[in-house]
Structure 1
Amino acid sequence: MPVDKVLLVMEVTSSGADRDRKSKRYCYARGGVPLYLLIDRELEAVTLLGEPGGHADLIDYRQEIRVPFGKSLDLPEPFALTLETAEFK
């Protein structure tokens, strides 16, 4: 699938959670993926990253919203839904 068609990438952390939190984050931002949703089992939190931007090697997400498991997270358009995380505990 062409990356310009991807609206959101969602991942659940694996044993290599540091890779999910850092390396993949920068890779998706450089690719222009608008939203990266990370369900972090180790931190027991959900992070929504948005608004990729920057220049050259400094491209990252400019917006970060983190909620602990048990709290809800509102996803922006075009999804416009509330993600309930109570069952993630």
Structure 2
Amino acid sequence: MEQTEFSISGSVRTWGSLVVLLVVGVLAVALGLPRGLALWIIFAAATAQTYVIGRYYMRLRSEDVLIYTLALLPVVTLIVLAFVLIPDIAMHP
């Protein structure tokens, strides 16, 4: 297994990118953007933050397709269940 050391410049760069993504999310609300657009920006920034944390701090550099499939499977299941169950719930209160 490869041992890599954390570098100060890499840590500062990673921290800086996380702060910038946080500021982007806060500005989306502070600038008074429409609610839907602000939510998309906030979720995009949160996804990018997750990628940065996973890449640098958790060292997830090369994972198999199986790992990504297992991570996305609950999301796909939630979307399918939402489209299947919401019309039934709405029609039968």
* TM-score normalized by the length of structure 2: 0.27
> Which structure has greater strand proportion?
1
Greater Rg, structure 1 or structure 2?
2
TM-score scaled by structure 1? 0.28
